[in-house]
């Protein structure tokens, strides 16, 4: 089996909405952040709520695309029913086949099936929780390649380090593509990990204090889509973990060997898939 893996890359997507715009829209949702009771029964007055903290941070997610192709032959026997009790044998392409009477007149033809199967899978995974998300829409925004991820630190923003590594996402994705083939001869068995990209998306967080109740709540604002979410969190400071390319992009043979049918099959791991395809 050959598994071709693209070079892992990292990108960041700069916000399309400024802090002032985000703050204004989040302010309109501040009461909702304190829950249902505050929203409907004891709605706080604007004068009772103050903005105590705000931050811009970049949160990571993985985009992985895999493709598998299997080409193989397998031996099968085909049964052809025969019409007429007088027929005792058939000659097909110069080969004579005797008619078998039971359960009803038929001949059995040996054949070679020439098979081809292809599968594709594309996933977007939250790199902090490991949950799959419907984040294909983020790809339409302009993104910038991060040349040195170890030192990625946009001014005035917190960079959230991934908890989920590339190997985990690729391993989970390959699990849906690896197939057990009933084959006599395998001509092609190739799995291509076409894309392994880490993206950073901009998120604003605003913390509000409801003074009479001494309650705090956070409203999160997506710096690209404008989506607002209550019940969020504020990180407040740069997370202690640092970004490390070697730890994040850790795909090797051990990443895929658990999903290869029939343990012990040799795996050829090919890097630089883009260059390989140009040939």
Q: What is the pLDDT of residue 43?
A: 74
Question: How far is the C-alpha of 88 from the C-alpha of 92, rounded, in Å?
Answer: 14
Q: DSSP of 209-254, one letter per residue?
A: EEGGGTEEEEEEEETTT--EEES-----S--S----HHHHS---HH
pLDDT value at position 72? 96
Whole-model pTM over 0.85: no
> Nearest Cα to 167, choosing from 243, 274, 254, 242?
254
pLDDT tens digit sequence for 90-109 = 999 999 999 999 889 999 99
Which residues of the chain fall below pLDDT 70? 36-41, 237-279
């Amino acid at each position: 089996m050959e598994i071709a893996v693209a070079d892992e890359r990292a990108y960041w997507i700069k916000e399309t909405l400024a802090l002032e715009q985000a703050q204004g829209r989040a302010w309109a949702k501040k009461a909702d952040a304190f829950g249902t009771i505050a929203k409907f029964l004891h709605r706080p007055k604007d004068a009772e709520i103050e903005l105590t903290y705000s931050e811009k941070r970049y949160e990571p997610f993985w985009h992985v695309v895999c493709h598998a192709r299997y080409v193989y032959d397998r031996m099968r026997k085909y049964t052809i029913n025969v019409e007429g009790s007088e027929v005792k044998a058939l000659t097909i392409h110069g080969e004579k086949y005797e008619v078998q009477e039971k359960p009803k007149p038929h001949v059995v033809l040996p054949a070679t099936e020439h098979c081809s199967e292809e599968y594709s899978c594309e996933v977007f995974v939250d790199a902090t929780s490991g949950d799959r998300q419907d984040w294909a829409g983020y790809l339409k925004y302009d993104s910038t390649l991060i040349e040195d991820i170890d030192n990625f630190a946009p001014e005035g923003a917190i960079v959230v380090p991934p908890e989920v590594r590339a190997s985990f996402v690729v391993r989970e994705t390959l699990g849906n593509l690896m197939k057990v083939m009933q084959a006599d001869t395998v001509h092609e068995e190739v799995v291509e990990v076409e894309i392994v990209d880490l993206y950073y998306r901009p998120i604003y967080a605003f913390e509000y204090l409801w003074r009479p109740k001494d309650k705090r709540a956070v409203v999160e604002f997506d710096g690209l889509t404008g989506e607002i979410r209550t019940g969020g969190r504020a990180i407040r400071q740069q997370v202690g973990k640092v970004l490390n390319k070697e730890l994040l992009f850790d795909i090797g043979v051990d990443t895929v060997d658990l999903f290869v049918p029939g343990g012990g099959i040799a795996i050829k791991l090919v890097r630089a898939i883009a260059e390989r395809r140009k040939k």
